[in-house]
Amino acid sequence: MIVSINHREINLHSGEISYQGEVSVLEPKVLAVLNALLDAEGQLLSTEKILDTVWADVVVGPNAVQRCITQLRKHLGDDSKTLIKTFPKLGYRLQISPTTRVSRQANYLYPIAVLLMMLVLAGVLWPSEKPPYRIAQLLSDSYESGNESQSNIYNEKLVYVRHGEEQNSTQLMLRATLHGPAEVLHQAHSFVDTPAFSPDGRTLLVSEQTIYQQTKCAQLRRIDLTTQTSQALLPCQKNRFRFARWRTSREIIYGQEDNHRHITLWRHQLVPGAKAQRLRLPKEIQQVAAFSNQADQLFISGKDINNTAQLWHIRYEGIHPELVKQIALSYDPFDASQPLVLPDETLVQSIRDQLHFYPPDNAPYSLTLHGSGQLNLSAVTHTGELLLSRAAQANQIMRHIKQGEKWASTPVALGNPAHNLALFQPNGEAVAFLSVRSGKQQLWVWHDRALTQLTKGAEVLSFVWHHEGHSLYALTQDALLSVDLSGYTIPLKTDILPSILMQSDEDAQGHFLLTAHDNSVSLFRPQQSTNHTLLEGPIHWAQYTRQGNLLFATSDHPHLMQWSNGTSTPVSDIQHIHLQWRFFYHHGVLLLPDKQGVIWQYDPVTMESISLTKPNSDFQLLSDAFSAPLKVLDLTNQAPSSTLLRLKLAKSNH
């Protein structure tokens, strides 16, 4: 297939690019990245998704993607970096328009595309007004290392579910105040729905799955928050209670699945001898996906008799339903959260990384939280804040310390698949890493099994420890910062803002930072605020020795190279070492993990190398290594992560 981008004809099969009579050829990986961007059809494509698509069976660092993007921009004439837009630490987007992706076989579509664009600009197909709400602030309600979800709040009381790794270890947690200590209220095999507060906030209603006589069964339970005692409301049953809500302080509404996973809604009075009654629904509702309520008003998402996705607002007079409003949905309601109501009567529902809003008197609109994983909307506070959980895939950071022939392993935390994900403090004690637990990618430190968030402002893109270990350097999109271990931050003056920080150390001229920017590696001296370019080219990773030599590797040549006196040469003594990802210069020696999990030590002065370990298939991606005693930080693949978020909305300025 031939496409035209920026006046260049590109063969997506062969990688040939024709421009002004000249033909060049894209490297296979660069072509694969281009195809991935085209397949995204103008949507943001995360770095992780590109890595999974283009390097499915190979372990490489995120710099491999950055290198391919740099090559693409060069071939496409995208010097201004507007054709391929970078979203720092999120990914890339190819800016698609009717003139940037036109197949030779589909030129007849061009007039239609122009007409559609004119309609869009005229506001016919897309509203010209801004959405009524914008995202004002994204906060975290998670401060522990476990997976947390399904949060709800009443005044200052916060309840949520914490998921354990073992069966029957899922816990219902309570904080008496939003940021106070958490205590365990109840434990079950799993909790199916968001815990629901009674109208007076004194009692919780939960649907759970528990083990009864060695068999898993479904249970509705009422928990008194004053005495912290619980009571089963119905006998343990085979089919799940999918949702459970309070209608009044003495009546509940719940949804239960049948053997075909269809949900039936029931109402049940909490008085002795009362039996559940099936809730009557309008005839338009064929399948229930989720629901919420406000007293006698129900908000149901599901499918109608024509299998069309819908959202219904229903009001009850006694037992008789009245259909107030019906809204067509553009997504599968069975993949979305429950529909909830904001104080201004706007309905809101989450699906994937989007929030869909349905105002009572305006057109629907959506807001996207890029890079947020799978969002699940669980509650709306009385002030209109949204409580969500974010399920994503994160790297589990593990610390391994070599003890004789064995390794002692300790989990550190869940972090992001990002540059410099986890690094030892220069004395080997603490571990710093990047995480989105607080809602944005921030710098955290793990020490004595305790976690401390150091930064709370703009997202941190990269970091390194100061070589003396008393502080760190952090890079944001707009600034280079010095951050001490109390979180105190000082901006540093620099004429060139780097894209990644690689190393902090000192040489004969004093303290330096080794940084990379586009296709160059530089020494930055914070005291003098000066930058000195050492080497230009697509460098994957580099370290600078105290003798003034730059050791580096490229994505295409994963063996150690040396730059000295303006010349690049292979380090011949260790060309047999096929680097895994990165290498680390500590205390005058280099530690190099290879593809087989062997960790090598190389002395650049004596040029001697020794293997410190045997091949180890348990090490998946080594993020840092430290000797005496030998310890490593390892990143496991795609560990599940779930955190609690609180989203503040603000009125848009029109």
- Residue 209's pLDDT is 85
- Residue 393's pLDDT is 64
CA separation for the pair 443, 142 (Å, rounded)? 15
Label residue 215 exposed, middle or buried (CB < 10 Å: 0-12, 13-18, 19+). Answer: exposed
Tokens of 43: 């949507």
Question: Which residue is associated with the tokens 């270890």?
Answer: 169
Render pLDDT for 339-350 as a digit per residue (tens, 0 to 9): 999 999 999 999
Question: Which residue is associated with the tokens 């080219």?
Answer: 537
Label residue 200 exposed, middle or buried (CB < 10 Å: 0-12, 13-18, 19+). Answer: exposed
Q: What is the CA radius of gyration of the chain?
A: 28
- Residue 11's pLDDT is 84
Question: What's the average model confidence in pLDDT over 19-44?
Answer: 84
- Kindly tell me if the per-residue pLDDT of 121 is higher than 70: no
Percentage of residues in the chain having pLDDT higher than 90: 35
- Residue 166's pLDDT is 56
- Residue 617's pLDDT is 67
Domains annotated for the chain, with CATH where assigned, are 2-96 (1.10.10.10), 145-279 (2.120.10.30), 392-641 (2.120.10.30)
CA dist 566 → 47, 168, 373, 548, 608 (Å): 33, 62, 45, 12, 24
- Residue 352's pLDDT is 84
- Kindly tell me if the per-residue pLDDT of 630 is higher than 60: yes
- Greater model confidence, 504 or 449: 504
Contact, 159 vs 171, CB < 8 A? no
- Greater model confidence, 388 or 40: 388
Percentage of residues in the chain having pLDDT higher than 70: 87
Of 402-411, 435-444, 457-466, least confident by mean pLDDT is: 435-444
Question: What's the average model confidence in pLDDT over 411-440?
Answer: 77
Render pLDDT for 222-255 as a digit per residue (tens, 0 to 9): 999 999 999 999 888 888 888 899 999 999 999 9
Other beta carbons less than 10 A from residue 77's beta carbon: 13
Question: What's the average model confidence in pLDDT over 566-583?
Answer: 87
Task: Please give the mean pLDDT across all residues of the chain.
Answer: 83
Question: What's the average model confidence in pLDDT over 501-506?
Answer: 93
DSSP string, 501-562: EEEEEEETTEEEEEEEETTEEEEEETTTTEEEEEEES--SEEEE-TTS-EEEE-SS--S-EE
Phi, psi (rounded to 5 degrees) for 104? -65, -25
Render pLDDT for 138-160 as a digit per residue (tens, 0 to 9): 777 765 556 788 899 998 899 99
- Greater model confidence, 619 or 599: 599
- Kindly tell me if the per-residue pLDDT of 212 is higher than 80: no
Contact, 205 vs 245, CB < 8 A? yes
Question: Among residues 140, 229, 158, 236, which one has the least CA distance to residue 197?
Answer: 158
DSSP string, 319-344: TEEEEEEEEE-SS-GGGS---EE-TT
Render pLDDT for 267-322 as a digit per residue (tens, 0 to 9): 999 998 889 999 999 988 999 999 999 888 999 999 999 999 999 999 988 778 89
* Run of H or E including 6: none
Question: Among residues 400, 422, 413, which one has the least CA distance to residue 584?
Answer: 422
DSSP string, 150-172: EEEEETTEEEEEEE-SSTT-EEE
Contact, 521 vs 542, CB < 8 A? yes
Extended strands (E) in 436-519: 442-447, 450-453, 462-465, 471-475, 480-484, 489-492, 500-507, 510-517
- Residue 439's pLDDT is 65
- Residue 371's pLDDT is 54
Question: Which residue is associated with the tokens 């990379």?
Answer: 516
pLDDT band at 57 (very low <50, low <70, confident <90, very high): low
Phi, psi (rounded to 5 degrees) for 50? -65, -45
- Residue 59's pLDDT is 59
CA separation for the pair 316, 306 (Å, rounded)? 24
Render pLDDT for 94-119 as a digit per residue (tens, 0 to 9): 876 434 443 333 343 444 444 444 44
Question: What's the average model confidence in pLDDT over 5-17?
Answer: 84
